[in-house]
Amino acid sequence: MIDVTKKLAGFALVSAVVLLGACSSTPEGEGADGAGTMDGSNVSSQVGSDVDEFGNPLKRVFYFDFDKATLNADVRSDLDKHAKRLNNNSISIRLEGHADERGTREYNLALGERRAKAVANYLAIQGVNNSRIQTISYGEEKPVAFGSDEASWAQNRRVELIDIK
């Protein structure tokens, strides 16, 4: 059983690398990070991306409404699985909060932090020790989609979950 999981994890890692390669050859612009990001599966910064019981990678990016830091209902099952995963290993995670370009930069930094903390609090309630969770906000400074439209904004209002050792 352990072997199978390892293979699956290895497969997921390879797919992540392939996706990363595909991403880097895509010309910069709306499409580059836009294609397929709604499930967060092509976010490449994490190492050893994990999978659920069906072998699908867990979501690593969680999206928010404008000027809101409340978790949408559809992200909870993935966060529950992350909590389970984290409770079964010793890795720490970094939660990076982001905002879309609308509104003021400093307010958006605060908003990004609230989003990251909303995810952190949810994981903590699921038993993940606070000391293993780092939060940081980049506000609107690090967009992944560069259009000035709702589709781009929706992709930028996010928290990214990144494994760190």
Partner 1 sequence: MMMRRLLISLLAVFASTWVAAQELRIEITKGNDKPTVVAVVPFSPPPGGALPENVPEIISADLYRSGLFKLIPPSDMLSLPHQESEVHYRDWRAIGTEYLVVGRMGRDASGLIIAEVELFDVYRQQKLFSQRWQAPVSDLRDMAHAISDRIYLALTGVRGAFSTKILYVSAVNLPNRRYNYRLMVADADGYRPKQILESSEPILSPSWSPNGVDIAYVSFEYDRRPAIMLHNLKTGQRQKLTHFPGLNSAPAFSPDGRQLAMVLSKDGSPDIYVMDLSTRYLNRITKDNIAIDTEPAWMPDGKSLVFTSNRGGAPQIYRVVLAEGWTERMTFDGDYNARAVPLPDSSGIALVHRENGAFRIAVLEFATGRLKVLSHTNLASLDESPTIAPNGSMLMYATEKQGRGILAAVSVDGIVRFDLPGKDRDVRDPSWSPFFNPPQSSR
Residue 98 neighbours by CB distance under 10 Å: 28
Of 83 and 162, CB closest to partner 1:
162
**Minimum CB separation from partner 1 for residue 66, in Å?**
10
CA separation for the pair 158, 165 (Å, rounded): 22
| Cβ distance to partner 1 smaller for residue 125 or 164 | 164
Token pair in block for residue 64: 């928010």
Closest approach, Cβ 157 to partner 1, in A, equals 15
User: 């529950």: which residue's tokens?
Assistant: 80
- For the CB of residue 129, give the shortest distance to partner 1 in the complex, in Å: 16
CA–CA dist 49, 11 (Å, integer): 10
3-state secondary structure of 92: strand
List of residues 6+ apart from 52 with CB closer than 8 A: 58, 78, 81
Which parts of this chain interact with partner 1 (CB under 8 A)?
A: 23-24, 28, 32-33, 45, 67, 101-107, 109-111, 113-114, 135-139, 141-144, 146-148
> Which CB sits closer to partner 1, 8 or 136?
136
The smaller minimum CB distance to partner 1, of residues 7 and 102, is found at: 102
